[in-house]
Amino acid sequence: MIYKISDTIRKDIATAIVKQSDPGYDTEYFGESYAVDTDGDNIFDAVRHKEAGAPWNPWHDNATAFPVADLYADSGCSFDPTPDTDLQPDELNDDKYAEIVFAETVDFAMSELPKTFQPLDE
């Protein structure tokens, strides 16, 4: 089955993969984000974060969900938002520079997100 990725959640998916790509992020401790088809129409229309060790899913039982990392499986790109301080302009403080790099990384992740997703097991 092929799932379409709704345009309304593309930025949410990209933001989730960038956060999860941070070297300090551990999905086994913090959990991970999922793209969710909430109404069975083969369109991912929501992004939900599942806490690590949560006994329940943050979507209803009839929904279909896949980790956002799976959507990028064929990308081969790094979405690590760690700023390269060697490239930091002198007029920007560390926080502002990190914010800019994060936003640019999200934009890059959005450009690498495919329009559709087909699970590997199908």
- Where do the domains of the chain lie? 3-115
Distance of CA 92 to the CA centre of its chain: 27
Q: Token pair 């403080």 is at which residue? A: 93
Round to whole Å and give the CA distance between 18 and 20: 5
Residue 54, phi-psi category: left (phi > 0), alpha (psi -120 to 50), beta (remainder): beta
Q: How many residues are listed for the chain in this entry? A: 122
Contacts 24+ apart (CB under 8 A), 83-91: none
Tens-place pLDDT, residues 18-41? 999 999 999 999 999 999 999 999
The reported pTM is: 0.90
Tens-place pLDDT, residues 52-86? 999 999 999 999 999 999 999 888 888 999 888 77
Q: Token pair 């520079």 is at which residue? A: 97
